[in-house]
Amino acid sequence: MKIAVTSASGYLGASIVKHLSNLIGKENVIAIARTVEKATHLGVEVRKGDYNNRAEFDAALQGVTTVLLVSGMDEPQKRIEQHRNVIEAAKSAGVQKIVYTSIVGAEENNAFSPIVQTNRQTERDVQESGLSWVIGRNGIYIEPDLEYIDTYKKDGEIRNCAGEGKCTYTSRQELGYAYAKMLVEDQHNGQIYNLVGNGITQAQLAADINTVFGTDLVYNSVSVADYATERKSELGDFMGTVIAGIYEGIRMGANDVPSDYEKAAGRPHISALEMMTNFKNKE
């Protein structure tokens, strides 16, 4: 068995490589990265693969039994063709199984929906590939909130448009563990899993951060329009729209979905408090 992980130099890809190496041994894991040098620290074989370059993936997937396709970060419409490059290369190379990292979210009615729609298209492409497949729909990572904690402390608040909506946060480490199991264990084939934790409000997020980090944050809700204006001013139109759309989706309930994590991973998802404590201990 040779299992390849794309975008292995990124945080999620690296986590999957680490957990997969623990399960099947480093000699059976192949990391694929656009810049090979950025993935050599993982201690496994590294091959070059740029989502825009089908020929690179034709070579990178030779001898591979199963491939993990990490969703790209490019603009929505470009992603579909990039993902198809990997899927078609996998078919040509004789890969038997493909696992895709999709996302939870509303397919319509908020500014994040176009990105969700492109993920759903890749889900269909994976399902129609003729290969064995598993799809994970990732919840929102908790790490960005924790990496932003100095700003939260300076402002004394968490401020967004999520209101009372619940968000089923996950972490890259939790996802890495689940995807390693989904790659190796055949009982997951043909399944779509919501890879999320337990839903919490933004007020609970602030309270948990206060508990773990000794801060004194409060949560303040603003309107969707006001938050979009703030984010665009700070991050530019594209990224500001995306971020505002994520929190609009939380407000609408799009991220408060039932969790399939235990089915995928064989154990319950850890709590937000535990994820924060793990993050703090690794700083």
Q: What is the pLDDT of residue 110?
A: 76
Q: What is the pLDDT of residue 113?
A: 83
Which domains does the chain carry?
A: 3-137+169-196+258-267 (3.40.50.720)
Using one digit for the tens of pLDDT, what is the confidence trace for 227-254?
A: 999 999 999 998 899 899 999 999 999 9
Q: What is the pLDDT of residue 109?
A: 73
Q: What is the pLDDT of residue 148?
A: 93
The first and second tokens of residue 212, run together, are 């773990």
Degrees, nearest 5: CA angle 196-103-213: 50
Phi then psi dihedrals of residue 250, to 5 deg: -60, -45
Q: How far apart are CA 73 and CA 79, in angstroms?
A: 7
Using one digit for the tens of pLDDT, what is the confidence trace for 154-194?
A: 999 999 999 999 999 999 999 999 999 999 999 999 999 99
Q: Decide: 56 and 50 in contact? Cβ < 8 Å.
A: yes
DSSP 123-155: HHHHHTSSSEEEEEEE--BSHHHHHTHHHHHHH
Q: Please, what is the average pLDDT of the chain?
A: 95
Of 140, 166, 138, give the one whose Cα is nearest residue 260.
Answer: 138
Q: How far apart are CA 5 and CA 7, in angstroms?
A: 7
pLDDT higher than threshold 70 for residue 283: no
Using one digit for the tens of pLDDT, what is the confidence trace for 10-52?
A: 999 999 999 999 999 999 999 999 999 999 999 999 999 999 9
Q: How far apart are CA 165 and CA 193, in angstroms?
A: 21
Interaxial angle between packed helices 113-127 and 76-93, expressed in degrees from 0 to 180 and rounded to the nearest 10 = 20
Percent above pLDDT 90 for the chain? 91
The first and second tokens of residue 121, run together, are 């298209």
Q: How far apart are CA 136 and CA 104, in angstroms?
A: 9
Q: What is the pLDDT of residue 238?
A: 86
Q: What is the pLDDT of residue 75?
A: 81
Q: What is the pLDDT of residue 164?
A: 97
- Beginning with the edge strand found earlier in the chain, give each strand of the sheet holding 192-195 in spatial order: 45-48, 29-33, 3-5, 66-70, 97-103, 132-138, 192-195
Using one digit for the tens of pLDDT, what is the confidence trace for 43-96?
A: 999 999 999 999 999 999 999 999 999 999 888 789 999 999 999 999 999 999
